[in-house]
Structure 1
Amino acid sequence: MTFRARRSVLYMPGANERALEKAKTLEADSLILDLEDSVAPDAKADARARVAAAVKGGGYGKRELAIRINGLDTPWGVEDLKMAAEVNPDAILVPKVARPGDIVTVSRIHAGMGGAADTRMWAMMETPMAIFNVREIASVHQVARLSCLVLGTNDLLKESRALATGGRFAILPWLSMTLLAARAYGLDVLDGVYNDFRDEAGFRAECEQGRALGMDGKTLIHPGQIAVCNALFSPAPEEVEWSHKIIAAFKLPENTAKGVITVEGRMVERLHLAMAQRVADIAEAITAP
């Protein structure tokens, strides 16, 4: 599969045709076309039709398109999944995944509906049970075509009764548990949203925290958050330059079989080569037309 940068992942309300059109001009890496939380019950069918038309119509360039469906235990979930199977987005975001079977079931029903095999599954991690079961959920990645875990921090705060104060102190262990499970099975993981989109300083601090934890990017609720998010989750120019030097050094004939080499006076191991290759891949994905 093509490598994708997922620095900025913007939720777009599926019932808002104007927002869906505007998204074609935004610099977000990925868009989540939402049929769940942002859509009122009496607007679900209309939102489903608008999202279907948007994905079919295209015009989103290299932006990754994910559709967040309603749960299969709701009156709308099956029809949402059927629509997604017909229009073939890049990914389907499954809400309130609590156990491995939840994501496996959606993946298998999607396949049975004729959905494209290259449509990935993303799992919303937004309940205490999801955090308890995160390792098992991540472990079914091959069976379920799972590629990304998405943290639903607002719901985690609500369900746990924790307070969103002190730099997210209360939920940091849950963020780290999700990240480690994702990394153990080769998945991406996206940080939760920052609600006060007018508070750039607070948003910047939370992006920096997410990057320090190892998140691949952050989910967003407002276009005004995209630029800061892209900047903070992008590798710095000097990091990209150093990564290319490591890659080039290991390609030299005298180094191809070595586990440890010296680059500009610094010891570099093959684990650094893997890290360098990811940085280079991210930089290439960001600059690709």
Structure 2
Amino acid sequence: MTAPRLTRTYLAAPAHRARLVQNAAASAADAVFLDLEDAVPPAEKAAALEAAATALATHDWGSKTVAVRLNAIDSPSIQEEIGRLGRIRRLDAFIIPKAEAVADVAKISDWITEATGSRDAPVEMELLIETARGLINVETLAGCDSLVTGLHLGVGDFAASIGARSAEIGASPPGYRHVGGAADGHRETPLDLFAYPMMRLLVAARAFGLRAIDGPCGAFRDAVATEAAARKAAAMGFDGKQVIHPTQIEITRDAFIPSDEELANAQRVIAAMEEEERNGQAAVTVDGKMVDYANLRMIKRLLSFKGQM
């Protein structure tokens, strides 16, 4: 298992936009990734790499996890990016976009190992699963290399990869719904395009002790949509969610933090289980429900999200 790391909110910042990077460093996000890929136009790629190196070396990142999203495996600059940034000690991880093949991940791992030299802690790899091929290979990718510590779901590119008619990043297409028969008045039920890829990525992550990070809600000005998407990911068991704007940080973080009611229930369960253990029992009834050690394991995980409020 990887060491516990708080990643409830994972803020994206284009590496060539100095003001946005500085704001990200000062933000309340648990984690930040500097983007060298999709958020950077081709003409700015070289400048973005130098800006990322400067930002990693000079900004005060506090206790944040700090990552850099590299360009794609077939990019002419990816090996240079790894070599330029790998020895900077404040860098925690490289995010690998469009991860699909074990051979590619192995090659990148070798480049990282070569670049990081005598660092005390290795630079980790977090794989961005954002294509149909990446998803069908996710279980193999999750366990293919010791540097892999996390999986992210790339919701926008994944929707494009399967041909979905999504109107917004992270949102299901308006037409994706079940329509009942005439007997029930053709009642419509909205469906979730991302339920399957989210669950498959989450199970792969848990099977190999990795972090699981959901993709962003593109409607960053919509507080209701942002909160709903975050609560879904938190309820499923994800470790966090990407955010693309600072206004999403607090809303998303709060979705992962246990409520006062959940905390109170956790304390009741812990106290009841401790009492039963003293009596030689391993299960107890609390509020009319049977609880046992499985409940304690779920509570322990829930409490781990409280962190720094």
TM-score by length of 1: 0.89
The offset of 1:273, in angstroms, is 1.6
Matched with 2:8 is 7
Matched with 1:109 is 111
Secondary structure of the structure 1 residue equivalent to 2:297: helix
Matched with 1:269 is 292
CA distance in structure 2 between the partners assigned to 1:122 and 1:45 by the alignment: 23
Residue-by-residue CA offset, 1:9-36 (whole Å, 9 max, x unaligned):
1110000111111112211111011111
Contact 1:250 1:256 in 2 (8 A): no
Residue-by-residue CA offset, 1:41-71 (whole Å, 9 max, x unaligned):
2211111111111111241111111111112
Mapping 1:33-48, distance limit 5 Å? 33-48=34-49
Secondary structure of the structure 2 residue equivalent to 1:60: coil
CA distance in structure 2 between the partners assigned to 1:171 and 1:266 by the alignment: 32
Contact 1:188 1:216 in 2 (8 A): yes
Contact 2:273 2:282 in 1 (8 A): no
Contact 1:5 1:286 in 2 (8 A): no
Give the AA of the match of 1:286: Q
Q: CA RMSD in A?
A: 2.4
Matched with 1:90 is 92
CA distance in structure 1 between the partners assigned to 2:102 and 2:275 by the alignment: 44
Single out whichever of 211-220 and 186-195 deviates more from structure 2. 211-220
Give the AA of the match of 1:128: A
Contact 1:150 1:192 in 2 (8 A): yes
Distance 1:205-1:27 versus aligned 2 partners, 3 A rule: same
Residue-by-residue CA offset, 1:226-254 (whole Å, 9 max, x unaligned):
11111112111232343345445656794
Distance 1:59-1:249 versus aligned 2 partners, 3 A rule: farther
Matched with 1:56 is 57
Give the AA of the match of 1:76: S
Distance 1:168-1:188 versus aligned 2 partners, 3 A rule: farther
Give the AA of the match of 1:200: A
Contact 2:112 2:123 in 1 (8 A): no
Contact 2:151 2:210 in 1 (8 A): yes
The offset of 1:264, in angstroms, is 7.0
CA distance in structure 2 between the partners assigned to 1:113 and 1:256 by the alignment: 56
Contact 2:276 2:283 in 1 (8 A): no
CA distance in structure 2 between the partners assigned to 1:30 and 1:257 by the alignment: 43
The offset of 1:201, in angstroms, is 2.0
Matched with 2:123 is 119
CA distance in structure 1 between the partners assigned to 2:242 and 2:53 by the alignment: 22
More helix by share: 1
Matched with 2:251 is 228
Secondary structure of the structure 1 residue equivalent to 2:193: helix
CA distance in structure 1 between the partners assigned to 2:123 and 2:36 by the alignment: 17
Tell which structure's C-alpha radius of gyration is larger: 2
Secondary structure of the structure 1 residue equivalent to 2:196: helix
Residue-by-residue CA offset, 1:139-165 (whole Å, 9 max, x unaligned):
22xx33212111111101111111232
Structure 1, gaps ≥5 residues long: none
CA distance in structure 2 between the partners assigned to 1:249 and 1:187 by the alignment: 31
Structure 2, gaps ≥5 residues long: 167-172, 175-189
Secondary structure of the structure 2 residue equivalent to 1:189: strand
Contact 2:30 2:64 in 1 (8 A): yes
